[in-house]
Structure 1
């Protein structure tokens, strides 16, 4: 008998006949270029047991079926011969169909068998129309009839019967009724093992587990727009290629209007109306073959529908869209030099209207590079049963689950709210198919959803500026009105102050209000304009006045501070003040505002981990920082590598703890020119 762990035993107790030992698939798959869901379709019923003898016989049967009927490409000539000699022969292969409009006939293409022009009836094509939209795996009965001719050419191969490799009927009540027998942690592992992963192997943190499960959201949530960009060998397309017959992979540059949306000649709806998920693989290359596919795609990503001249009005679809691409640099490097959509194809990577329709940006750079030990040898749902469950969940809807416990912060617009709610709904479907979940479950999924949508918005802010300024995403607990802000790991690292060079316009400081301090992030965006100033993030009139005074000082002294081309009259400035930590913000932030404005205008990075103390008066005098030692300590503890301080605080340096000075440099400045010299990152 095979040794089982507790989860294996539970799966056999509650789902016998629907689970399979996953290493069996790998043992059969060696040498067979066949998707996992095809193999598990063949082995699930005979191998859903812990009886070694039954498993052995089941595997032998599957191997026999594969050896007799599965076609390896190098065996195509032999299969042609078997079909001819026997008159007909059953094969396991991927079948696609194309319309030959010149001859008004359909031709079937059997991929591995290398049969490119097989006869197929209109009835079979209409019954299995996904053959025209990327193809399906099936058990196919192919006959041989040498009397079929066109001119002098013989077209002897005839597709007589097609049995798609998926369950013929399905009822998800078994999962719904038995979910209560598993803890949340156990169910997480069930999902991962069903997808082929071993959650107990090295590197599978709770974070990684949730990111892997998030890859399944497009399969359970209709019209879900998903991006994952990360290194190679992290399994980005695995889910959509191997785990379900309801998803299709489209290679780079192959997205045409006819294939995706509607065929202008036949009026037939394309992939968006036929599949649950469409994955654009290698989206760092060209995505669409037709340029006019992009506006149609934007319409579809926004509303799940599109209009096309000659198509007979508005057409709807439910397919989710996945864009996968590779990143070749560390994420820190990309963020210093560009934005996180830059690896995508040039046709979309700066199209803010397109990118704003992305619901979920999974940080692929966090994912594991998979090795053999990351794949499970334990039991999980057979892939056909698993994929049918995922498909059945698309009928459920939990987009209102957030409203029971939480409200969303002021920075989330309608286009942000929808992705967040759809993400939470998808995770509830996956983790709680019985609809039983707690407030803390919703909180966990909400924080993940806010992070993934905020990642989209932060990059849009880098590309498009003020239009996408509101990125300080938060949620409010309805029970106690506590507001929590959700940050991005790559923006902050382990500290609130970035350890990488600060983006142009970003600077940190610290303020004191009574006995409490606040860590403050100042972010300035400059766009061509007519000298307008917009301040957001604070309602404190003293703080606003402090900012305006600094702005007026720069304006009044432009000739000595700015070049003509960088004059304030040529730019609109938007200044956002964010309370990163601590009490309410108070004034005394003029020097940091000064630096942020100038670095935004000149597009210059400030030094890594930089913070600034002090204030610049309307007359240009440098005002000392109060609570000097406490402020230096707070900034240092939150990641500041350099804190530039007024010269008037020099005598107080001895009050700063030696451990703080060991981690943080404290240079001094006496005027605005010294401040710039010590803050700007050297080229």
Structure 2
């Protein structure tokens, strides 16, 4: 027997008729095709009670309606027969409509009933335009008329009436007036249970609760660009597929200009003008069917509007954009070898202009994998009421609230400030729909907002270099003038360059191939031998020649570089090259190889967190490092405490960010002797 807890009793007291026991949906065995909001639409009014007999009676009625009118796909032939024999039949199904321009008429399709060419009058299509944008679930009256022919073909199915499965009217005053009856933690639990989650289940920490809540932000904030990449089975698309009739899920590769933006023939505005949220599911496979959709999406994500030739000027929309997809490797591995956008479809995963428009990167790898105990059996808002409440909150904004208490640090540009303000606004709407919040509430939401936007910026820095180097996000308390910096959990302790004296033979450097950088670890291993050299870890001929030239330089100048005891002819040397991060390794590693070999021969440690840039030619000339500022920044970001660089790069020092110079000591050399002095740790 179910026992009401205090929160259930509060909900029934203040929201009777608008809440439902969430496990009732799971007890109705109707297959996987019925969204939660469809089932709860049917059970909310009759089962919003703690009276077990009334719940049983209501559920019995719901099951009867579903058994008689909900269409399972395997029953489609039976439904066709029922419509024919009865002449008119009411069904629950998902209906979509397409324009047949050759015949200048609309055709309706019913998903589970397998009706593909249903007759539907223009006025119904005009009244329910979302049928053209992916379809809606509805209670549908279907009639049978065998006299309707086109040529020799009979098209007997006629859609005579449609009742969308959502509330016809909504007043959010109850949500606003009753919020004060609940504590902040109680209200958070109510919101999560309304989504079907059990907030008190094992493994659901306070942080997980806020991450789960974050999935609702695109439903309360217009034009909010959101991404979640993480493992499978974490419910990434659940909110947008099951909990609201105002969101649409677009399968991978199905994003077209006509569907998303504007139809080239009819000039009808697409999904961005019809839905509150558009979720691209499986965005790691393919997002857009048309390449032309990408620049339009960039414009839309930036400004909420776009222009299309022949469409009659600028077109606006309010739909939030969501990208969901799977990361199949541990996040640590992804960060060591690439960036956190790399799992996305190839069409956008290195497009910095596209990715920079994302407001919020939810770390899906932190999410729990859902099992039965993570779904609640307690009361929460019925989904139709909840979805209407979320929609109503889009009409208000709190984007300027944080300025009452805090200012943002210097590293946040305009494109960073907007996402942060919208995120704070969204959280206030969800948690404080009555507008009653405190400074500490705003601080909590601000820190989450800074983290989620910084995650975007950090990946852009990995892809695009200096243009995005300012990622040290912070906020300043206006009352105390204290500055608080916000980091990323996955970045902590992830320095790839050890902040301890480096072992003999180990040195770090950075190479560049165009704008693409690679963090490289060089390890020279010395064994007794006869003067042979082996290279492993790299196949690039140019890089191998770079290493061989450095070795030949040392060999040709042994008398001035090495003493007799350490002569190359007495040793075999293996040079192991490891790509720690970024693109393919390219040339320009000669000076680092030189220091690795010499320190290995002399068994001398190198300085803590050391990296070396530049090249030493066969003739001994020191060659400057190209892409100097980008390389220094990448090395500093990955733990380099000291970087020794050619003197010819001195004039470029002014291009290094001040924060980098504060973390990393840059020293210059003009010959091999100075290089050794500045790199080798003195005993």
Q: Out of 496, 508, 511, which is 1:501 matched to?
A: 496
Q: 1:565 to 1:224 in 2, by over 3 A?
A: farther
The equivalent residue for 1:274 is 274
Give the Cα separation in 2 of the matches to 1:618 and 1:362: 44
The equivalent residue for 2:78 is 78
The equivalent residue for 2:360 is 360
Give the Cα separation in 1 of the matches to 2:275 and 2:353: 24
CA contact (8 A) 1:299 1:305 kept: yes
Give the Cα separation in 1 of the matches to 2:258 and 2:145: 33
Deviation for aligned residue 1:526:
6.8
The equivalent residue for 1:147 is 147
Give the Cα separation in 2 of the matches to 1:562 and 1:37: 75
Q: Does 1:167 align with 2:167?
A: yes
CA contact (8 A) 1:218 1:225 kept: yes
Q: Out of 624, 640, 646, which is 1:567 matched to?
A: 624
Q: 1:445 to 1:155 in 2, by over 3 A?
A: same
The equivalent residue for 2:307 is 307
Give the SS at the match of 2:138.
strand
Please report the RMSD computed on the Cα atoms of aligned residues, expressed in angstroms: 3.2
Give the SS at the match of 1:593.
strand
CA contact (8 A) 1:524 1:596 kept: no
The equivalent residue for 1:16 is 16
Give the SS at the match of 2:458.
helix
The TM-score, its normalising length taken from structure 1, stands at 0.78
CA contact (8 A) 1:221 1:320 kept: yes
Deviation for aligned residue 1:579:
12
CA contact (8 A) 2:510 2:635 kept: no
Give the Cα separation in 2 of the matches to 1:48 and 1:445: 33
Residues 637-656 of structure 1: pairs in structure 2 closer than 5 A: none
Residues 289-368 of structure 1: pairs in structure 2 closer than 5 A: 289-368=289-368
Q: Out of 607, 625, 644, which is 1:594 matched to?
A: 644
Deviations 1:346-398 (A, max 9, x none): 00000000000000000000001000000000000000000000000000100
Give the Cα separation in 2 of the matches to 1:249 and 1:5: 35
Return 5+ residue gaps in structure 1 as ranges: 511-521, 530-552, 581-588, 599-611, 624-668, 677-683
Give the Cα separation in 1 of the matches to 2:461 and 2:371: 37
Deviation for aligned residue 1:33:
2.4
Deviation for aligned residue 1:433:
0.4
The TM-score, its normalising length taken from structure 2, stands at 0.78
The equivalent residue for 1:260 is 260
Deviations 1:651-671 (A, max 9, x none): xxxxxxxxxxxxxxxxxx985
Give the Cα separation in 2 of the matches to 1:449 and 1:231: 22
CA contact (8 A) 1:145 1:158 kept: yes
The equivalent residue for 2:232 is 232
CA contact (8 A) 1:524 1:597 kept: no
CA contact (8 A) 1:22 1:379 kept: yes
Deviations 1:577-632 (A, max 9, x none): 9999xxxxxxxx9962339999xxxxxxxxxxxxx999968689999xxxxxxxxx
Deviations 1:485-542 (A, max 9, x none): 00000011xxxx42x634xxxx7589xxxxxxxxxxx99997869xxxxxxxxxxxxx
Q: 1:11 to 1:463 in 2, by over 3 A?
A: same
Residues 5-404 of structure 1: pairs in structure 2 closer than 5 A: 5-31=5-31, 33-404=33-404
The equivalent residue for 1:607 is none
* Number of equivalences: 567
Q: 1:457 to 1:359 in 2, by over 3 A?
A: same
Q: 1:412 to 1:84 in 2, by over 3 A?
A: same
Give the Cα separation in 2 of the matches to 1:364 and 1:93: 32
Give the Cα separation in 2 of the matches to 1:15 and 1:524: 61
Q: 1:141 to 1:562 in 2, by over 3 A?
A: farther
Give the SS at the match of 1:102.
coil
Q: 1:596 to 1:155 in 2, by over 3 A?
A: farther
Q: 1:321 to 1:613 in 2, by over 3 A?
A: closer
Give the SS at the match of 1:568.
coil
Give the SS at the match of 1:395.
coil
Deviation for aligned residue 1:31:
3.1
The equivalent residue for 2:531 is none
Deviations 1:293-337 (A, max 9, x none): 000000000000000001000000000000001011000000000
Deviations 1:221-262 (A, max 9, x none): 000000000001000000000000000000000000000000
Give the SS at the match of 2:434.
coil
Give the Cα separation in 2 of the matches to 1:591 and 1:421: 35
Give the Cα separation in 1 of the matches to 2:202 and 2:620: 56
Give the Cα separation in 2 of the matches to 1:570 and 1:593: 14
CA contact (8 A) 2:222 2:394 kept: yes
Residues 386-425 of structure 1: pairs in structure 2 closer than 5 A: 386-425=386-425
CA contact (8 A) 1:523 1:575 kept: no
Give the Cα separation in 2 of the matches to 1:398 and 1:212: 21
Give the Cα separation in 2 of the matches to 1:72 and 1:148: 27
Residues 480-559 of structure 1: pairs in structure 2 closer than 5 A: 480-492=480-492, 497-498=493-494, 501-502=496-497, 508=499, 559=616
Q: 1:123 to 1:591 in 2, by over 3 A?
A: closer
Give the Cα separation in 1 of the matches to 2:629 and 2:387: 52
Deviations 1:44-74 (A, max 9, x none): 0000001000000000000000001000001
Deviation for aligned residue 1:188:
0.5
Give the Cα separation in 2 of the matches to 1:148 and 1:378: 51
Q: 1:312 to 1:570 in 2, by over 3 A?
A: closer
Moved over 2 A (4+): 29-33, 507-510, 522-529, 557-580, 593-598, 612-623, 669-676
CA contact (8 A) 1:614 1:622 kept: no
The equivalent residue for 1:443 is 443
Give the Cα separation in 2 of the matches to 1:562 and 1:473: 46
Deviation for aligned residue 1:440:
0.3
CA contact (8 A) 1:2 1:50 kept: no
Give the Cα separation in 1 of the matches to 2:619 and 2:235: 50
The equivalent residue for 2:552 is none
Q: 1:289 to 1:406 in 2, by over 3 A?
A: same
